[in-house]
Structure 1
Amino acid sequence: MTSYKVLVRDVIKKADVLLEVIDARFPDETRNNEVEKEIIRLKKPFIIVINKCDLVSKDKLEKTKARLSRIAPTVFVSGKARFGTTMLRHQILASACIKGQDILVGTLGYPNVGKSSVINGVTGRHRASTSPVSGHTKGVQHVGAGSRIMFVDTPGVIPFDENDDYVQGLLGIKDATHLKDPIGVALKIIEKMLVENKTALEVFYNVTLETQDSYSGLELIGKQCNFLQKKGEVDEMRTAIRIINDWQTGLLLI
């Protein structure tokens, strides 16, 4: 943990502009207050980059952008679809306020928010190494993006004192095979979908959910997927793993 703190503070100190990359599905959960305070303390310009914007509704996205824009310039992008990356490039140039020299851009964020994908989107080619496995980036990588922009790609910023298995499952920091309680995480996903986009959940699994009870939802999804044990009971673990995988790979949209 100490090494991550040292790494992050070093990037903040050296960079001309900082990007805080967050997940559009969890804008507040993927912000790191300690990192933001350090950026502000050192009086460095920073941009909030809402990545994975293709996984949420336009209405939700606009509300999030309007709220976060009060804190710092905010741009929403899809690193995967390379949407919004031209706008991000313009914002980097505007925020740096440096003429005639290269701009060093530090990228910070939790594991699996898609920092490397955002960099590749701006550069227009596969320069930063990416992987669906969280924590893929090792050490610091410098990536040239043209137009005087040089990115510093970092490993994910692990939350200080973060031990919440449910949060790590929802954010995709840990996949289903590394979670202590996959069923509990799946129930959290169902709860969130029931509140924010019940219709999408029902359409995706071809079910009709009569109540807001997440456990009943898990059982119904298990039956629809035919994840049954010998006595006809739902295989809750298999169902939970399916739901977590669908969530983390972006098949379930809010």
Structure 2
Amino acid sequence: MNIQWFPGHMAKTRRLVSENLKLIDVVIELLDARIPVSSKNPEIDELIKGKPRLIALNKSDLADQAVSSEWSKWYGLNGYTNIFIDSVKGRGINELKSRLREIMREKIEREKQKGRISRPIRTMVVGIPNVGKSSFINRIAGKASAATGDRPGVTRGKQWIRINEQIELLDTPGILWPKFEDKRVGMNLAFTGAIKDDIIDTIELAASLLERLAQVYPENLKGRFKLEPLEDKTGLELLEMAGRRRGCIISGGQIDFSRISAIVLDEFRGGRIGSISLETPGEIIKQGI
């Protein structure tokens, strides 16, 4: 499956980030905790030009906690301030605010020593579509201050949001790079819904997801869809098995592949197949990323 997607408004967003960076003290880079590498825009490092950064790994409730612990250690060892959060339930949001103040502590002290009145810390949140930015902003602001949706690309434009007396946040739309040079990255983004389903063959996507899960989380797959045996089965065969288990049958006893594909993708994205991480630090180190 060859995935290419670069809506025109995303080029505009890159310019927006670059142009407004001079107003920012700290950049909050929002990633998907299940796919920290695939959900990272590789242009961000160049765009933020060395600004202090806090990496917030969202949707941590959907990720494998053991793998998330490995990622936290990996980021720490590589000098990145990071925190795992759940924007829906609010887990980690207060700690994130504290981390922002820690990052800016020295600068704030210098300002005080010069007799300057401290102003709010100005932050910018950046992330790819459907990584949960709008839900994150609503949660951190304590009110529904940004439009939310379960489809990528809902947010547009630019707005300042007052978090509290100490923090202000500049929202920007999600940005995604124009070409997926690594097929695995494109697939991970499609699995998690960062790429619109209406431009993808969802049957092929669901089959690929089942094939991946059979390799890395076989017990989850067996438990949710009662699929056995998994060994030596192609993704399409697994999808057919799941379809029969769920009663996705049409006339003539044929499998309704569109229906079971929608079910598989929906249940994965909603965490009903279990807490799953599709990338680990060990794999990234091995691949040299």
Task: Answer yes or no: same fold by TM over 0.5.
Answer: yes
Partner in structure 1 of residue 219 of structure 2: 199
1:218 offset after TM fit, Å?
Answer: 0.7
The answer as to 2:70 corresponding to 1:63 is yes
Q: 2:84 aligns with which of 76, 87, 96?
A: 76
1:4 offset after TM fit, Å?
Answer: 2.3
Percent identity among equivalent residues? 24
Amino acid at match of 2:120: D
- Structure 1 distance, partners of 2:270, 2:173, is 20
The answer as to 2:25 corresponding to 1:16 is yes
The answer as to 2:125 corresponding to 1:107 is yes
The answer as to 2:101 corresponding to 1:93 is yes
Partner in structure 1 of residue 273 of structure 2: 252
Partner in structure 1 of residue 14 of structure 2: 5
Amino acid at match of 1:187: A
The answer as to 2:54 corresponding to 1:47 is yes
Across the aligned residues of Structure 1 and Structure 2, the Cα RMSD in angstroms comes to 2.0
Q: Which moved more, 1:182-191 or 1:7-16?
A: 7-16
Summarize the Cα distance change of 1:65–1:195 in structure 2 as closer, same or farther, 3 Å threshold: farther
Partner in structure 2 of residue 181 of structure 1: 201
1:71 offset after TM fit, Å?
Answer: 4.1
The answer as to 2:245 corresponding to 1:224 is yes
Amino acid at match of 2:91: F
Residue by residue over 1:164-192, the C-alpha shift from the partner in whole angstroms, topping out at 9 and shown as x without a partner, is 7644422312343x133111211222133
- Structure 1 distance, partners of 2:211, 2:72, is 24
1:242 offset after TM fit, Å?
Answer: 1.6
Report 1 or 2 for greater relative contact order, CA contacts < 8 Å, sequence distance ≥ 6: 2
1:103 offset after TM fit, Å?
Answer: 1.1
> Could you tell me whether the CA contact under 8 Å between 1:4 and 1:158 is conserved in 2?
no
- Structure 2 distance, partners of 1:24, 1:6, is 26
- Structure 2 distance, partners of 1:22, 1:30, is 6
Amino acid at match of 1:235: D
Q: Which moved more, 1:94-103 or 1:51-60?
A: 94-103
The number of aligned residues is 251
